[in-house]
């Protein structure tokens, strides 16, 4: 047996494997076209579940694709093709869609499943490396996941081909996610455990500061210098600004203060807060999820949000530190 390591270092071989697999994914981009569009439409219009099936390494990749689809709004289930002919095929209904994965397109266990799929008239999307195969010809649409060579030095072990299949599955899942308008809160519904789910366990009311004696609320006609003292006193890095009807009209943040001092260095004693506040600030309801508050903070680079009631009256403040302390991330 030839010692490959004697002529090629471990690092060189590892880099070669990664390059082969990376190139196999890059070449998939050239095959994204009408067939891919049709596959997305078939899956999007599925009234039942997406049944993913594949044998061996393809089956392992299929399990991951099914899991990704399910967690992003497309109900999916993995069916082992060998078990399918021993009763498990009973899970397939006429309203389902099948994704069948086989690099050769001739996997016998999948061939055994084809008569049932055809009998039920179930639509099928093939993911195969052979567009002239039996599987491809039996499918409503076929996605080409062929690779020039496997990353295995023997060109035998499924490596680049399984990587390409996994990437194509991710592309389908993400396109379906976008087409369905799947939101961050939708995602959290399917991930109730761990750090992801904590954003769905907490509402703003659970984490906000609601003690009126500790809320930095000032009138828009108050003097700018007085509001600076209020912000310093309450140590939240901001003050909520209300009009004479008590409605939120703005906020004054540490950033607003710095910009004001630079712009009006000798006039600060003459300014009222209405002149320099951030108008129409971001706000949130106490009934919203903490994850939604964190999303707003990250999107607009702010550290605290005013919490308002249905009449736009400020009733609290939620700070990013309290959200992160609760484990919402």
pLDDT of residue 81: 86
- Compute the distance between CA of residue 59 and CA of residue 51 in angstroms, rounded to an integer: 12
Please state which of the ranges 40-49, 83-92, 230-239, 302-311 shows the lowest mean pLDDT: 83-92
Instruction: For the chain, give every domain's residue range.
Output: 4-181, 204-325
Please count the CA atoms within 13 angstroms of the CA of 71 that sit on its side-chain side: 13
153 or 5, higher pLDDT: 153
- Compute the distance between CA of residue 294 and CA of residue 160 in angstroms, rounded to an integer: 38
Decide if pLDDT at 152 tops 90.
no
Pick left, alpha or beta for residue 267 (phi over 0 → left; psi -120 to 50 → alpha; otherwise beta): alpha
Compute the average pLDDT of residues 228-237: 91
In this structure, are residues 102 and 58 in contact, taking their beta carbons and an 8 Å threshold? yes
pLDDT of residue 31: 93
Please state which of the ranges 81-85, 143-147, 193-197 shows the lowest mean pLDDT: 193-197
pLDDT of residue 87: 57
Please state which of the ranges 99-108, 182-191, 293-302, 315-324 shows the lowest mean pLDDT: 182-191
Q: In the chain, where do the E strands start and end?
A: 50-54, 76-79, 97-102, 123-128, 141-144, 217-219, 238-242, 248-253, 278-279, 283-285, 304-308, 314-319
In this structure, are residues 185 and 203 in contact, taking their beta carbons and an 8 Å threshold? no
In this structure, are residues 185 and 292 in contact, taking their beta carbons and an 8 Å threshold? yes
pLDDT of residue 202: 84
Q: The tokens of 91 are what?
A: 């899970």
In this structure, are residues 247 and 279 in contact, taking their beta carbons and an 8 Å threshold? no
Q: Is the pTM of this model over 0.75?
A: no
3-state secondary structure of 223: strand
The CATH H-level (homologous superfamily) assignment of domain 4-181 is: Glucose-6-phosphate isomerase like protein; domain 1 (3.40.50.10490)
> 204-325 sits in which CATH class?
alpha beta
What residues are paired with 141 via a beta bridge? 125
| pLDDT classification of 8: cutoffs 50, 70, 90 | confident
Nearest to 272 by CA among 219, 325, 214, 229: 219
β-strand pairing of 283-285 with 97-102: unpaired
| pLDDT classification of 183: cutoffs 50, 70, 90 | low
């Amino acid at each position: 047996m030839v010692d490959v390591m004697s002529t090629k270092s471990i690092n060189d071989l590892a880099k070669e494997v990664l390059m082969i697999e990376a190139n196999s994914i890059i070449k998939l981009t050239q095959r994204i076209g009408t067939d891919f569009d049709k596959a997305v439409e078939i899956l999007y219009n599925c009234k039942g579940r997406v049944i993913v099936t594949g044998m061996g390494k393809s089956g392992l990749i299929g399990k991951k694709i099914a899991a990704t689809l399910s967690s992003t709004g497309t109900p999916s289930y993995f069916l082992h093709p060998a078990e399918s002919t021993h009763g498990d095929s009973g899970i397939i209904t006429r309203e389902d869609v099948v994704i069948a994965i086989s690099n050769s397109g001739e996997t016998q266990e999948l061939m055994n499943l084809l008569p049932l799929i055809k009998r039920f008239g179930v639509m099928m999307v093939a993911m195969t490396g052979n567009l002239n195969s039996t599987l491809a010809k039996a499918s409503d649409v076929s996605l080409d996941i062929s690779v020039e060579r496997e990353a295995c030095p023997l060109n035998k072990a499924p490596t680049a081909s399984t990587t390409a299949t996994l990437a194509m599955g991710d592309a389908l899942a993400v396109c379906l996610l976008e087409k369905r308008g799947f939101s961050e809160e939708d995602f959290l519904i399917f991930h109730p455990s761990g750090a992801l789910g904590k954003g769905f366990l907490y509402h703003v009311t659970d984490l906000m500061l609601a003690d009126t004696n500790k809320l930095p609320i000032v009138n828009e006609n108050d003097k700018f210098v007085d509001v600076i003292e209020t912000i310093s006193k309450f140590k939240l890095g901001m003050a909520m600004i209300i009009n004479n009807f008590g409605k939120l009209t703005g906020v004054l943040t540490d950033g607003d203060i710095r910009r004001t001092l630079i712009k009006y260095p000798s006039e600060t004693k003459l300014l009222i807060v209405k002149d320099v506040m951030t108008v129409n600030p971001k706000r949130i309801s106490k009934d919203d999820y903490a994850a939604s508050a964190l999303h707003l903070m990250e999107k607009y680079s702010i550290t605290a949000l005013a919490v308002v009631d249905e009449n736009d009256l400020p009733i609290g403040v939620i700070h990013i530190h309290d959200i992160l302390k609760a484990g919402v991330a």
